[in-house]
A = this chain, B = another copy of it.
Amino acid sequence: MMKDLTELRKEIDVLDKQLIELLAERFRVTEQVGKFKAAHSLPAVDRTREGEQEKKVMLLAQKVGLDPAIAKRIQRMIIDEVVARHQQIMHDK
């Protein structure tokens, strides 16, 4: 039988809670990266690292059944948020 909308939305809310907690944790780590980069005068953007991350994420997405194009767009957005924050940390130094 098809699950109804209420049931499915409850599942989504549980997943969103986990997603936000995971993103919070990820931004805590990238905050440390930003401070490290600022302390060592490293640039906020690292295209080599970004390229590696993109490859990894797209491969993994395919493996777990997530559209790699969607995974790539979401990852790109997260990285853009992180870079903006790193530029802020450098600016405030």
Contact call B8/A64, Cβ cutoff below 8 A: no
| Majority DSSP secondary structure for residues of A touching B | helix
Q: Mark A67-81, 1 if CB is under 8 A from B, else 0.
A: 100110111011001
Interface-centre pick from A19, A49, A57, A60 (highest chain B CB count, 10 A): A19
Give the oligomeric copy count.
Answer: 2
Interface range, A side: 35 or more
Question: Beyond A15-B26, A65-B28, A74-B78, is A33–B20 a contact (Cβ under 8 Å)?
Answer: no
Given contact pairs A2-B39, A18-B22, A20-B61, enumerate 7 new A-B contacts (beta carbons under 8 Å): A2-B35, A8-B32, A12-B33, A15-B22, A20-B60, A24-B66, A28-B65
